[in-house]
Structure 1
Amino acid sequence: MRFSRTTLGGLLLAGFATPAFAQETAPPPAITINGTAAVVTDYRFRGISQTDRNAAVQGSITVTHESGFYASVWGSSVDNYVTVAGTGHQEIDLIGGYKKTVGGTTFDIGALYYFYPKTHPAGDASSSDFVEPYVDISHTFGPLTSKVTVNYAPKQKALALDQGASGLLRKRDNVYLAGDFSAGIPKTPLGLTAHVGHSFGPSWLATDSTGKKGYTDWGLGATATYKVLTLGVSYVDTDARFLSSGGRNVSKGGVVASLGVAF
């Protein structure tokens, strides 16, 4: 249920080294294109498994202009309970934004559109697709980088609690607030990460089977990088109780491993 740029995805990308395509003496190009591909043992979105605690294949491509504007496409396999209609097996995120670094502080503002192909049966008033603007502020202190993220999804169908209930579809909104920390271990290819976030509801994103209006997720992880390859291992947990269509508690804590490549 929706990509998190501040959980496992962030942990994996934090370890990637961008390959150099030109000599350092050459001027940087006005437009750069980068991509990633990864296999993860469990796709977690804000602590909740999107694959019924099974593996997922993921990939992305990002186009960045020297002005700071960027556009990206990210995709992952998901389980069918992630979508409202229960028919989707893919998530595609369309991302656009602007990033600027001043001193050691980076400001990043943009929006994500979460798209789930083939999830709109004829005559069904429910919706899985939605938009979520975001703001990130990060700062680097030597080897340590800290980041605060605020995601706000305005009221829309995909966040309704009464999906499929005779077309009632009371629209909801959602706020996600998170803090992330990453640090490289000097003179080694190793890195450490930590994450804590809270989803404020009620909405399809944040309400679990216990009736809570929100929940907290957190995680600790480590990465090892070799050239363009990154191996990541993290422990992810929540205080929620979210059951998949198969009856598994997909909000339960667990270890997630990933292997990715940057190009």
Structure 2
Amino acid sequence: MKKSKFLIVPMIAFGMVSLAKAEPLVEESAIPGEFSANISLTSDYIFRGISQTGNNPAVQGGFDYTYDFGPAAVSAGIWASNVKFSDATIEIDYYAGVGGSIDNFSWDLSAIYYTYPGADSSLNYDFFEIAPSIGYDFGFMAVSAGLNYSPEYFGDSGDAYYTHGGIDIPLGKYFTLSGTVGYQAIDDNAAWGTDDYTDYGISLSTEIAGFGLSAGWTDTDLSKSQCDDACGVFSVALSRSF
């Protein structure tokens, strides 16, 4: 998104994660583990309640590698999307982590490096986060919670953390209703451009002929002067995994 009174940071709460179940790219390989890919088209790239494309569509996709070893698995991948900042038009993220599950309880510890090729290095757009999370599936619903921490956030705005939670409720056999809420805290609000804020959203998703389809609404508690048209956004996304 273009920078007005504040700088916008990338990546999704909605639309970045492929909704379709990933399948191996190849069935037989000399390399242990599984490779997969995903691609999606979304009407708006929204990250933590804020549009990253100026309310314009985004084409997104990535490649992932996963290796299971008993009760846990390691994974790594790369993901990219177009963005609309005054000094950057693409975002490329690199990530790796380990996670597992015990009965209905799941856990994950990941590291993510967000980059913006083509942006002036003096702007300090690139940043790193560590992201632990947990989840529990009750059957009739699944809940999750996590914390993303950065020692030096987007735009050289100091250390920052994002606490978040989510809930997924199956609606019959074909639909899932999801809700999210998060709180973004930043050390240097002046460098970032807004106060600390809360974001929240709701979405409905399904799978048709191997394609994931979702529609959702997200917003923040930022004032109109701070968020302009980048908050309070409805979006739809179509995705496919291979």
> TM-score band (shorter)?
0.7 to 0.9
The CA distance in 2 between the partners of 1:243 and 1:41, in whole Å, is 24
Match status 1:236 vs 2:218:
yes
The CA distance in 1 between the partners of 2:191 and 2:47, in whole Å, is 11
Match status 1:106 vs 2:106:
yes
Q: Give 1:199's aligned residue.
A: 184
The residue type equivalent to 2:151 in the other structure is P
Match status 1:224 vs 2:221:
no
Could you tell me how far 1:20 is from its partner in structure 2? 7.5
Alpha-carbon deviations, 1:63-99, whole Å to 9, x = none?
Answer: 001121100111100002xxxxx32100000000001
Q: TM-score, normalised by structure 1?
A: 0.79
Asked if the contact 2:77/2:95 (under 8 Å) is kept, the reply is yes
Alignment match of 1:177 (pick from 151, 163, 170): 163
The CA distance in 2 between the partners of 1:39 and 1:9, in whole Å, is 8
Q: Structure 1 residues 60, 54: CA separation in 2 closer, same or farther (over 3 Å shift)? A: same
Could you tell me how far 1:226 is from its partner in structure 2? 1.4
Counterparts of 1:126-165 in structure 2, within 5 Å, are: 126-155=123-152, 158-161=154-157
Cα RMSD of the aligned pairs, angstroms, is 2.6
Number of equivalences: 229
Secondary structure of the 1:249 match is helix
Asked if the contact 2:54/2:230 (under 8 Å) is kept, the reply is no
The CA distance in 2 between the partners of 1:60 and 1:221, in whole Å, is 22
Q: Give 2:82's aligned residue.
A: 77
Asked if the contact 1:179/1:197 (under 8 Å) is kept, the reply is yes
The CA distance in 2 between the partners of 1:195 and 1:230, in whole Å, is 19
The CA distance in 2 between the partners of 1:204 and 1:231, in whole Å, is 36
Could you tell me how far 1:17 is from its partner in structure 2? 2.6
The CA distance in 2 between the partners of 1:229 and 1:18, in whole Å, is 11
Alpha-carbon deviations, 1:24-48, whole Å to 9, x = none?
Answer: xx9xx94111111111111011001
Q: Structure 1 residues 207, 215: CA separation in 2 closer, same or farther (over 3 Å shift)? A: farther
Secondary structure of the 2:118 match is coil
Counterparts of 1:250-261 in structure 2, within 5 Å, are: 250-261=229-240
Asked if the contact 1:113/1:129 (under 8 Å) is kept, the reply is yes
Could you tell me how far 1:242 is from its partner in structure 2? 7.2
Q: TM-score, normalised by structure 2?
A: 0.85
Could you tell me how far 1:254 is from its partner in structure 2? 2.0
Asked if the contact 2:105/2:136 (under 8 Å) is kept, the reply is yes
Secondary structure of the 1:118 match is coil
The residue type equivalent to 1:54 in the other structure is N
Asked if the contact 2:15/2:237 (under 8 Å) is kept, the reply is no
The CA distance in 1 between the partners of 2:179 and 2:39, in whole Å, is 22
The CA distance in 1 between the partners of 2:24 and 2:113, in whole Å, is 30
The CA distance in 2 between the partners of 1:232 and 1:72, in whole Å, is 23
Q: Structure 1 residues 175, 114: CA separation in 2 closer, same or farther (over 3 Å shift)? A: same
Secondary structure of the 1:240 match is coil
Q: Structure 1 residues 189, 177: CA separation in 2 closer, same or farther (over 3 Å shift)? A: same
Alignment match of 1:32 (pick from 28, 31, 34): 34
